[in-house]
Structure 1
Amino acid sequence: MDLDFEFAFTERTPRIVNAAKLLRSQGRKKADLFLAEGPNSVDAAIATGAAREVFVTQAGAQRFADLITAAQHLSVRVDPITDRAAKSMSDTVTPPGIFALCTPVMWPAKEVLGRRPRLVAVPVETAEPGNAGTLIRVADAVGADAVLFAGTTVDPQSPKAVRSSAGSLFHVPVARETNLQAAMDRLQAKGLNILATCADGEVSLDEADEILAQPTAWLFGNEAHGLPDELLAKATHRVRIPIRGRAESLNLATAASICLYESAKQLARAAER
Structure 2
Amino acid sequence: MASFHTDPLSTNNDRVKNVRKLARRSFRAEHRQFVADGPKAVEGALTVAGCVVEVFATASASVEYADLRARAADLEVAWTLVDDRAMGSLSDSVSPQGVVAVCRFLDRPLEHVLTGTPGLVAICADVRDPGNAGTVIRTADAAGADAVVLAGSSVDAYNPKTVRATVGSLFHLPLATQSEPADAVRRAQEAGLIVLAADGAGEIDLDDAADDGLLARPTAWLFGNEAWGLPAELAALADHRVAIPIHGKAESLNLSTAAAVCLYASARARRHT
Same structural fold, with TM-score higher than 0.5 when normalized by the shorter chain: yes
Alignment of 1:34-113 (within 5 A): 34-49=34-49, 50-113=51-114
Q: Check if 1:28 corresponds to 2:28.
A: yes
What SS does structure 2 have at the residue aligned with 1:238? strand
- What is the match of residue 183 of structure 1? 184
> Is 1:120 paired with 2:129?
no
Q: Which sections of structure 2, spanning at least 5 residues, go unmatched?
A: none
Q: In the alignment, is the contact (CA less than 8 A) between 1:187 and 1:194 conserved in 2? A: yes
Q: Deviation of residue 27 (structure 1)? A: 1.3
Residues 70-115 of structure 1: CA deviation (Å, up to 9, x unaligned): 1122211001111211121122222121101111111112212122
Cα distance in structure 1, aligned partners of 2:65 and 2:189: 45
CA distance in 1 between counterparts of 2:250 and 2:168 reads 31
Deviation at 1:7, TM superposition (A): 4.4
Question: In 2, distance between residues paired with 1:107 and 1:125?
Answer: 19
Is 2:213 the counterpart of 1:220? no
Amino acid at match of 1:212: L
Equivalent-residue separation in structure 2 for 1:110 and 1:150 (angstroms) = 14
Residue type of the alignment partner of 2:260: S
What is the aligned residue count? 270
Structure 2 length-normalised TM: 0.94
The aligned counterpart of 2:135 is: 134
- Aligned to 1:40, what secondary structure does the other structure show? helix
Q: 1:240 aligns with which of 235, 240, 243?
A: 243
Bigger CA drift: 104-113 or 213-222?
104-113
Contiguous gaps of at least 5 residues in structure 1: none
Cα deviation digits, residues 7-26 of structure 1 (max 9, x gap):
41522211110000001101
Q: Distance in 2 between the 1:70 and 1:159 partners?
A: 23
Cα separation, 1, equivalents of 2:126 and 2:240? 20
The residue type equivalent to 1:244 in the other structure is H
User: Secondary structure at the residue paired with 1:243?
Assistant: coil
Partner Cα separation in structure 2 for residue 10 and residue 194 of structure 1: 51
Q: Percent identity?
A: 46
Kindly indicate whether the alpha-carbon contact (under 8 Å) linking 1:42 and 1:99 is maintained by their aligned counterparts in 2.
Answer: yes
C-alpha contact (below 8 Å) 1:23/1:90 kept by paired residues: no
Deviation at 1:132, TM superposition (A): 0.9
- CA RMSD of superposed structures (Å): 1.4
Cα deviation, residue 5, structure 1: 4.3
